[in-house]
Copies of this chain bind each other. A is one copy, B any other.
Amino acid sequence: MLPELKIQPLRYVLAIVDEGGFHAAARQLHRTQPAVSMAVRELEQRLGEPLFEKGGKAALTPFGRYCLPRFRELITQHDRLSRELWAQVQKQAGHVDMAAVPSVASRLMPRLLSDFILRYPDLRVSLQDGSADFVRRLVAGGEVELGFTSLWREDDELSFTPLMHDDVGVVCRDDHPLAERAELGWEALQGQVLIRNGTSRLLEGTEAEPLLAESAFDISNMISLTAMLVAGIGITTLPRLAFPQEYARLRFIPLVDPLVERELGLLRPGQRSLSPAAQAMEAFVIESLRSEAFVTP
């Protein structure tokens, strides 16, 4: 029963009033004058009440005067929405929620994010960090759109884009017997006090696995772990990216005999698509890391 108003004819009415005539309005609208006339007449019929006086001039009826500000209001709302959506699509506005594993968050993301906001100054980014499993759950649950993490289990719910390899090495204090070695094999670690950490599972399935069984400690927290290493209590294995460079007394010695690598990359929902802003982030991260080769290949 209610008439369905289309936006365009309302615009015509405004133009006619603003320009003071059908001809001028048609010119401004890049339409012909009959098109304007007919659209207005159609609108009037739909409303059941004329908007313009019949006689010659383009003068509003009282009803037309009543309608005018309301038309203007609706068009304003429409344009505001249109502009807003357009900004989203054009990545001139929007928000990306993402998560990353701590090593990535602290070593890669600062540079990436500062470059990103240079490229997309109007986008906003939220980043949280946590274990690889934590990141995976956030992405799977839709709480973040993108995760930067290492993959250890394929999942058809999620899709993973590998971006770089990160090789595992041994971390010890600079006065440790192994500290001066350029590289190590797993045999060299036998008999050492090995501290397990969250990344130790990378060694599972390799020749080095038996070493894990002997380890007396399992420290997941990075602060605690480095404290123990600095105290010289033992050694550990870490991916190169997770090695805390800021501790002067710690050394990273690549483990070459069982060459263990973790694969870092972007995790995103498998079927679902991303918001325009997240699409921009995904493409940007992939492009950045592809061209720069951040870590060892």
Contact = CB atoms under 8 A, between A and B. Distances in A.
A283 interface: no
A1 to B, nearest CB: 8
Contacts of A70: 81, 84-85
Contacts of A81: 5, 70, 73-74
Nearest to A278: B62
Contacts of A88: 49, 63, 66
Interface residues on A, range: 35 or more
**How many copies of the polypeptide does the oligomer hold?**
2
A159 interface: no
Nearest to A63: B275
A97 to B, nearest CB: 10
A3 B86 contact: yes
Contacts of A55: 271
A83 B4 CA distance: 10
19 contacts: A2-B82, A3-B82, A3-B86, A4-B82, A5-B81, A47-B85, A49-B88, A49-B276, A53-B273, A55-B271, A61-B272, A62-B273, A63-B88, A63-B273, A63-B276, A66-B88, A70-B84, A73-B77, A74-B78
